[in-house]
Amino acid sequence: MKTIFEKSSGVNGILLESETKSCDCISSKFLRQGNIGLPQLSELEVMRHYKELSDRNFCIEKGFYPLGSCTMKYNPKVNEFLASLEGFTNLHPLSSDEDSQGALELMYRLQEALKVITGMQAVSLQPCAGAHGELSGMMVIKKYFEIKGEKRTKVLVPDSAHGTNPASAKMCGFEIVQIKSNERGQVDIADLKAHLDKDVAAIMMTNPNTLGLFEEKVLEISKIMHDNGSLLYYDGANFNAVMGYTNPYIMGFDVVHLNLHKTFATPHGGGGPGAGPICVTEALKEYLPSPVIDFDGKKYYRNYNLKHSIGKVKAFFGNFGVLVKAYAYILMMGDNLKKASGDAVLNANYIKEKLKGKYLLPYDEPCMHEFVLSGDWQKEQGVNTIGIAKRLMDYSIHPPTVYFPLIVHEAIMIEPTETESKAVLDNFIDVMIKIADEIKERPEFVMASPHSTPVKRVDETLAARHPDLQFKEG
């Protein structure tokens, strides 16, 4: 495919005002002289160029997207329609509460729904994504101990945690203490106790964890932490596995963030937008980012009157369009949110059992919504995990998460979600088995993948460190 510069035909789709007559409002010394080097095409040629580019992008509407820990499930298009309603899209962010009752009511009702789903007592919708929710939650925890007059400096983070967990805690000034996993891929209680002291403010956990395994000792961990005066933070990135079956409050957590752009089916990928509301227990209600949305029986309003609030963490309503889509999804699903989690867990276990003889399964346990294979067997035959991932692209399947979590060598992290049919899952299984067989017969061919995509194999390290984004004539 040619670049838009190579397609330049010398035809202007738009004739700029400055090209047709002199500009009297700007001094001539500030005006550009000569050709600025932009491509010259008609409007139709430009539209065709960008349509052709878009057709080359991979998306959930084009194929299977088994990206572990990211819950890349189908986003119903009715959600997009509702978020684009004129009353939402044309509402000025500086409108008064009186003029924003519809939007405020939606946010209030979403807060109430998230309370029920998580079991928590208070919610802030402001954070704009998961890591932002983590940061906000850790800020709440830090201020909680400051108000109590306790100087706690450490946060415990399991070695199976999402990479943003230690980063979020570190940005709040905490020292990060890593807790090891045991032989079953769960938090090692002995190691946790060995690192626990009165300097520990909290533990950040994901349940199920990043290996896709449920932390069976979570209630014991909760008691250990609370007996020490410490709090528990719940990373909700994997919440798609447990909706309706359990919740963070039952598990003993004090703060939780949810990824609305994962669990509640708003578009995910491409850098956003997202939404990462934080939910807290009654004891932490006054520490939430302000404002929260309240209702006095007559009107909905933004409540800034939180005694110990950490302040605003996002302008205006947060990513409001994402909130609309998530609320629509919750209303549409109702009690079927539980079925969504059940189906996601069933699908993951189905794929795991079908593939565990062809790929190494480091933790052979019943999984939740995702599981982690290892490409060690294939690496011994000449093809590493990145080679397997690239080969999947030739079969119109998006590569799963690879090399994460770090505690699994040559990790292949697979999450099928609940929105894919058995036929899609069976095709993925067949392709993964075919690739394993190909590696035995033609490892060099697989390692050179992908072969059918617009861009073939590149040097990822070189591309990341020295990106060349500038068009060069000739």
**Cβ neighbours of residue 321 under 8 Å, at least 6 residues apart?**
83, 88, 89, 273
Q: Do residues 370 and 312 share a domain?
A: no
Average pLDDT over residues 291-295: 97
Average pLDDT over residues 92-114: 96
Q: Do residues 205 and 299 share a domain?
A: yes
**Where in the sequence is the domain holding 297, given as residue range(s)?**
91-333
Which of 333, 365, 393 terminates a domain? The answer is: 333
Burial class (CB in 10 A: 0-12, 13-18, 19+), 114: buried
Q: Identify which of 255, 257, 162 has the alpha carbon closest to the alpha carbon of residue 212.
A: 162
List pLDDT tens digits, range 60-85: 889 999 999 889 999 899 999 999 99
Q: Do residues 210 and 327 share a domain?
A: yes
Is residue 317 domain-resident?
yes
Average pLDDT over residues 152-170: 95
Q: Do residues 325 and 365 share a domain?
A: no
- In this predicted structure, the answer to whether residue 103 has a pLDDT above a threshold of 70 is yes
Angle at the Cα of 280 from the Cα atoms of 277 and 282, rounded to 5 degrees: 145
Dihedral (C-alpha) 33, 39, 42, 46: value to the nearest 10 degrees?
A: -140
Where residue 119 falls (left for φ over 0; alpha for ψ -120 to 50; beta otherwise) is left
Furthest-apart CA pair in the chain: how many Å? 79
Which of 289, 306, 333 terminates a domain? The answer is: 333
- In this predicted structure, the answer to whether residue 20 has a pLDDT above a threshold of 80 is no
Q: Do residues 168 and 277 share a domain?
A: yes
Q: Do residues 461 and 382 share a domain?
A: yes
Inter-residue contact 213 to 185 (CB < 8 Å) = yes
Inter-residue contact 172 to 143 (CB < 8 Å) = no
The total of structural domains in the chain comes to 3
Q: pLDDT at position 14, please?
A: 62
Q: Do residues 272 and 372 share a domain?
A: no
Q: Do residues 345 and 310 share a domain?
A: no
CATH number of the CATH domain containing 266 = 3.40.640.10
Q: Which residue has the tokens 């509301």?
A: 277
Instruction: Give CA–CA dist 24/27, Å, rounded.
Output: 7
User: With helix as H, strand as E and coil as C, how does 309-376 read?
Assistant: CCCCCCCCCCCHHHHHHHHHHHHHHCCHHHHHHHHHHHHHHHHHHHHCCCCECCCCCCCCCCEEEECH
Is residue 428 domain-resident?
yes
Is residue 306 domain-resident?
yes
Q: Do residues 396 and 279 share a domain?
A: no
Note if the pTM is more than 0.85.
yes
Q: Do residues 130 and 50 share a domain?
A: no
Inter-residue contact 303 to 294 (CB < 8 Å) = yes
Which of 8, 31, 56 terminates a domain? The answer is: 56
List pLDDT tens digits, range 195-225: 999 999 999 999 999 999 999 999 999 999 9
- Pull the structure tokens for residue 413: 């992290």
Q: Could you give the percent of the chain with pLDDT greater than 90?
A: 80
- What percentage of the chain's residues is helix, strand, coil (to nearest 5)? 40, 10, 50
Q: Which residue has the tokens 């409002």?
A: 25
Q: Do residues 353 and 286 share a domain?
A: no
Is residue 206 domain-resident?
yes
Instruction: Give CA–CA dist 103/88, Å, rounded.
Output: 7
The residue that leads in pLDDT, 442 or 28, is: 442
Over the chain, what is the mean pLDDT? 93
* Beta strands, E only, 167-288: 175-179, 200-205, 231-236, 255-258, 278-280
- Looking from the CA of 397 toward its CB, the CA atoms found within 13 Å total 25
List pLDDT tens digits, range 307-359: 999 999 998 888 999 999 999 999 999 999 999 999 999 999 999 999 999 99
Is residue 84 domain-resident?
no
Q: Do residues 297 and 427 share a domain?
A: no
Q: pLDDT at position 473, please?
A: 46
Number of residues assigned to the chain: 474
Instruction: Give CA–CA dist 333/325, Å, rounded.
Output: 12
